[in-house]
Amino acid sequence: MDLENQRRVKELSEQYGAENVVVLLGAAEGEASGLAAETVTLGDPTYAGPLAGVSLKLSVYHICEPEVKAEIDEAVYDEQISMMEMVLDVDDICGEMNAIREQL
């Protein structure tokens, strides 16, 4: 995850409390989604950014995961996301996301 984004995630969770923050990802494939999810839960695996060694344990989902889809107005989801849902390997993304959440 981009170092600037790591800093912003860290600041927002300090400001609002980690329990009040949900991170929503839009990465294009599983590996990148998993890395981003790991960064905001267990800490930056590359040890390069502000979240290196910082385990925020934030709630994190990918926009294409069914849990998120269920929360969003169907018409809005259709207009904004459904095309990418067709393009992305959603099963792979969900698998990577679940694997990270299982480690928490």
Partner 1 sequence: MGNFATIRGVSYILAAAPDMVLHNGTTQTTERIVNPESEYLGQIEGHLRSYEDVLAYIPNQVYIGNMSNEQLRETAFPYYDKKAAEAKRQGKFGEIMPQDEFYALMQICDVFDLVKLEAAFAQGAKAKLAAGGLLREEQLAILDKNQESGEDIRRLVEEDHAEGLYNGGALVGAVKRAHDVDVNLSAHVMLENLVAKASSVLALLHLLKHTGIDPASVDYVIDCCEEACGDMNQRGGGNFAKAAAEVAGLTGATGSDVRGFCAGPAHALLDAASLVKAGTFKNVIVTAGGCTAKLGMNGKDHVKKGLPILEDCIGGFAVLIGENDGINPIIRTDVVGRHTVGTGSSPQAVIGALVTDALDKADLKLTDVDIFAPELQNPDITKPAGAGDVPEANYKMIGALGVKRGDLQRAELADFVAKHGLVGWAPTQGHIPSGVPYLGACREDILSKKIRRAMVIGKGSLFLGRMTNLFDGVSFLVEENPGGEAGSETTAGSNAAASGSAAVSETAVRTLIGEAMRDFAKTLLSE
| Per-residue 3-state assignment (H helix, E strand, C coil) for 24-66 | EECCCCHHHHHHHHHHHHCCCCCCCCCCCCCCCCCEEEECCCH
Does position 48 interact with partner 1 (CB under 8 A)? The reply is no
Binding mask 7-46 for partner 1 (x = CB under 8 A): ---------------------xx-xx--------------
Residue 86 lies near partner 1 (rule: CB under 8 A): yes
Give the interface with partner 1 as residue ranges (CB under 8 A).
Answer: 28-29, 31-32, 79-84, 86-87
